[in-house]
Amino acid sequence: MELLYIRINNYKGLSGIDLNFSNRFRFHYDEIELTVKIDETPNFIDHFFGRNISNLTGIIGQNGTGKTSILRYVMQYFGDGNSEIDNKSIAVFFSQNVFYVYSASGISITIPGKQYSIQRVKDLQRFKESTTLIFVSNHFDPTSFYSFDSLKEQFGDTKNLSTNYLLLTDIQKRRTFKDAKKDNLPYRDHANAFSAQEFIRIVKLLRWITSRNERNPFPAKLPPYINLSLYYNEDSPNFKKYIELQEALKLYFQIGRSKRDQFLVNAFEASIFHLADEGALSLTLGAGNFIIETVDRISTYIRAKRDIEDTSTLAKISSIINHLKRGDLWKATSNKLDSIQNFINELNNYLEKKDGSINANETGVSIKLSQATIGSLVNLIDNFYSVNKIGDFAEFYFSHQPLGESSLSSGEYSLLSLFGRINDTKFHRTKRSLLFLIDEAELALHPAWQIRFIDVFTEFISEKFGKREVQILVTSHSPFILSDLPPNCVVLLKRGDSNPVVVDSLDKKNETFGANVHELFTDSFFLQDGLIGEFARRKIENLIKRVHDKNQYTQAEYNSFKKEIDIIGEPYVRFKLLEKVLQGIPREQFDNIIVEREKELDLIRKMRNDKNRS
């Protein structure tokens, strides 16, 4: 079921706003006659954006005109699980040639032909039962989580994939036994949990991409490596005890030259020390006492085993973990110890297959992403994050270089996280329609990537959700995104005297599809003051005023003006200003200017001749 039209009577600064979300029909509301006339749109092209995409609508306009508020309205009143209803609004849905009309007041409807019919509905339940709303935003809004905002809520089967909501809720997937009963956790825990889940979402996206056996559809080059670095908290007051543990394990394992085995032991040391150092595994002891008892127990155990065990590194690690699990001290944490064991086993599998390379001091490993490795990589990463929060004893990060530092830009992360969130979302089986609400799709993207966003997004949606009907509403400030939208797929918002107003996007003065971006800036984004920065505009205006305030200039004044004029990028403005200054130069000074220019030309000719001879 497709959402075609909404009339918002009064909502967060939007008053008497008519919103056409259909590329097939146009709606005209007469508030005096209380009539809605429906016309078919000229040049309608069925499935223009993809085989399963019924429509893609761009909500475009000046800042403060309510673009995001429109998405809030849809989330608040059309999302499943929310019982609120705006009884002063009008809404029209469409399915199989039937217009479903919701309106509390008695309005009359004129349809465009006999092939269509009208069915009036008393509420929005039919739409809610057939359609899942998905809100996606990489924007972070620092306002309080406790203030009501429909974009920070998730109602029923509505999917909220915004940064704000995930920061609040990802923590639920990463709670440890010690904080399971706490209602409020520090912001650091929320941020760490969000980072962990975001990383896993991107890895799953990369797995989906590599499974396609086709070209990379994204404008960004995909990171070919995931690097893992072990972390040792050298500032810990218990770090001396860790050194004691390290020395004892070195004698016990006697690894020799095996970089792989040494890395596994280092990972085991780091994980055990972290958990014990924070007292995370202790129910009765403080962290300081607990690390002492933990190291002493391990040291006593391995001294007894040192001369009788001749087994593999993995087997020795397993024996220590099993010993810890058998003690009363560790009973409450057997699941954490199992996670450490699973994580180390997964690491060993990768290193055995030679899919990973280890750095010189055996504290880092680089895993090359390939179709063969990326599937089980999700298990490796999930096992790590189930041990505890991200960054506690190791750090995973994407990179374009093996064993190098993270080299992904904020734009690359923004792009991959947006698609990763959508890729990882599970939808209700019985709901066949999806309505995506994308807020500021171009956020953090380079213009070269903005140019490709609609193309990439529609291709992704068509392939990922090919068996569902999809509708997309996207807000944007980008003329590159707007240039991919025909005018019948655009809602243009402009500031009015007191409230935002909708400009008819089918007016021939507002052509959008394939249009020049400079024209889109002035026509569709209503930039009345031109297309240069405000700072540059004020500087140039001041220069023009100073030039016109005088009729004659000294040589020094001419040289000063010439410097300011030469940096102006617009050729016409630059030429006219220079012409005006030259008109004020005394006749006898022209010879000096000509001499200086001839010296410059002689130098340029000399440089050219030297290059030709070389």
The model's pLDDT over 323-380, given as tens digits with 9 standing for 90+, comes to 888 766 666 567 777 878 888 887 887 777 655 677 767 778 887 776 656 666 766 7
pLDDT confidence bin for 248, thresholds 50/70/90:
confident
**Is residue 435 pLDDT above 90, yes or no?**
yes
**Domain match, 483 and 369 both:** no
Question: What average pLDDT does range 50-68 have in this prediction?
Answer: 86
User: How far apart, in whole angstroms, are the C-alpha atoms of residue 462 and residue 422?
Assistant: 13
**Domain match, 467 and 505 both:** yes
Domain assignment present for residue 209? The answer is: no
**Domain match, 500 and 539 both:** no
Domain assignment present for residue 559? The answer is: yes
Question: What average pLDDT does range 372-399 have in this prediction?
Answer: 66
Of these ranges, 48-52, 373-377, 540-544, the one predicted with the greatest mean pLDDT is 48-52
CB 54 within 8 A of CB 470: yes
CB 437 within 8 A of CB 135: yes
Higher pLDDT, 602 or 513: 602
Residue type at position 470: V
Question: What average pLDDT does range 457-470 have in this prediction?
Answer: 89
Give me the pLDDT at residue 436, please: 95
pLDDT confidence bin for 383, thresholds 50/70/90:
low
User: How far apart, in whole angstroms, are the C-alpha atoms of residue 118 and residue 598?
Assistant: 80
**Domain match, 398 and 460 both:** no
**Domain match, 387 and 277 both:** yes
User: How far apart, in whole angstroms, are the C-alpha atoms of residue 216 and residue 205?
Assistant: 12
Strands in 25-30's sheet, in edge-to-edge order, are: 25-30, 35-40, 108-110
pLDDT confidence bin for 238, thresholds 50/70/90:
confident
Domain assignment present for residue 243? The answer is: yes
CB 137 within 8 A of CB 438: yes
**Domain match, 384 and 433 both:** no
Give me the pLDDT at residue 575, please: 73
Domain assignment present for residue 310? The answer is: yes
Question: What average pLDDT does range 427-453 have in this prediction?
Answer: 83
Domain that holds residue 466: 2-188+415-523
The domain tally of the chain equals: 3
**Domain match, 83 and 154 both:** yes
Higher pLDDT, 233 or 50: 50
**Domain match, 278 and 305 both:** yes
pLDDT confidence bin for 571, thresholds 50/70/90:
confident
Give me the pLDDT at residue 283, please: 44
**Is residue 5 pLDDT above 90, yes or no?**
yes
Domain end: 380, 407, 434, which one?
Answer: 407
What is the pLDDT of the chain when averaged over all its residues?
A: 78
User: How far apart, in whole angstroms, are the C-alpha atoms of residue 199 and residue 26?
Assistant: 43
Give me the pLDDT at residue 525, please: 47
**Domain match, 149 and 51 both:** yes
Give me the pLDDT at residue 2, please: 92
pLDDT confidence bin for 181, thresholds 50/70/90:
very low
Higher pLDDT, 74 or 505: 74
**Domain match, 178 and 268 both:** no
**Is residue 584 pLDDT above 50, yes or no?**
yes
Domain assignment present for residue 157? The answer is: yes
**Domain match, 371 and 271 both:** yes
Domain end: 523, 551, 578, which one?
Answer: 523
Higher pLDDT, 588 or 509: 588
Question: What average pLDDT does range 6-30 have in this prediction?
Answer: 88
pLDDT confidence bin for 504, thresholds 50/70/90:
low
Domain assignment present for residue 258? The answer is: yes
- How many angstroms separate the most distant Cα atoms in the chain? 105
Question: What average pLDDT does range 443-471 have in this prediction?
Answer: 86
pLDDT confidence bin for 565, thresholds 50/70/90:
confident
Question: What average pLDDT does range 162-181 have in this prediction?
Answer: 68
Domain assignment present for residue 203? The answer is: no
Domain assignment present for residue 320? The answer is: yes
The model's pLDDT over 113-125, given as tens digits with 9 standing for 90+, comes to 889 999 999 888 8
Residue found under tokens 């005018």: 487
Give me the pLDDT at residue 354, please: 57
Task: List the alpha helices (DSSP H) in 397-436.
Answer: 410-423
Strands in 2-11's sheet, in edge-to-edge order, are: 14-20, 2-11, 90-95, 98-103, 117-121
**Domain match, 539 and 519 both:** no
Domain end: 388, 407, 426, which one?
Answer: 407
Give me the pLDDT at residue 100, please: 93
Contacts of 225 (CB under 8 A, 6+ apart): 366, 367, 368, 369, 398, 399, 400, 401, 402, 404
Give me the pLDDT at residue 471, please: 94
